[in-house]
A and B are shown apart, each in its own frame.
Chain A
């Protein structure tokens, strides 16, 4: 004969725990920024450099695997650029600049880069190349930047692990 143990009814007050969890949840929800969809799928090369990419005043030149080039600016630069333009058709074309526009040729790139720099002089140029892209594609971009006198720029990489 086994006698059933008398159950002790324990009631734990969960209120403080819930409060803390709620706080954490709010924090994570507020700080999370879903990564915006990239106009090109780019796998970055790795490096041991520890300089962080600034969050504002950045203009990104994307070079994807096949050598297609996209230009992307932050919202502020895009706004300044649109405001500086007087041509409505051109303003329209800047609308998607913060999502990335495909660059037709090197002249198109140099034109846009110069205008963005005029609109926002604090702009920093970064080049984000796919690791498997041919060096020649990067060299073309570099030559264009050199032509428009941007001799200081940064390459976006991922931190090397191990």
Chain B
């Protein structure tokens, strides 16, 4: 592509007698087609394999261990319990837990927030539940704009409450 001048030019100005005949240029034409083919292939490969996306992250805050007791109004506390099979139970305050399908969660959060903007949500997931379920519910909580939210361990007491509901 780029022509290289191999000197000779500076000699031009010298004596007449030395005058050399300008060399005949050989016109070289290289067929670039195979090269272009290969380059195109490489280009397509790199374009297709490049992933510009970086993974997303979800921020989460947990209370420090030396927890100070915070008193909240019963009616403001929404407890979500996720049991082993993925069923979600919710209850507000001390009422009995009721099952709720995952698809209805978003609307439920929005409605609840409208009634009580200071709602506090407590999420308890059974140890045998899936991590996916917890992330999905947290995602719904974030989407609904429920900022006062906390994770709590699923205790035996929770297990008994759920059993009672199931039996009833």
Contacts and interface: CB of A to CB of B under 8 A. Distances in A.
B131 A32 contact: no
B58 A157 contact: yes
A44 B32 CA distance: 46
A102 to B, nearest CB: 19
B131 A153 contact: no
Contacts of A131: 130-132, 135
Interface size class of B (residues with CB under 8 A): 35 or more
Contact of A157 (B51, B56, B63): B56
Nearest to A150: B62
Contacts of B35: 18
Nearest to A127: B60
A47 B43 contact: no
Interface string B125-162: 11111111111101100110000000101000000000
A133 B130 contact: yes
7 contacts: A45-B132, A135-B127, A145-B62, A146-B63, A151-B63, A155-B60, A157-B58
Q: Which 3 A-B pairs have the closest CB atoms?
A: A136-B127, A28-B46, A131-B132
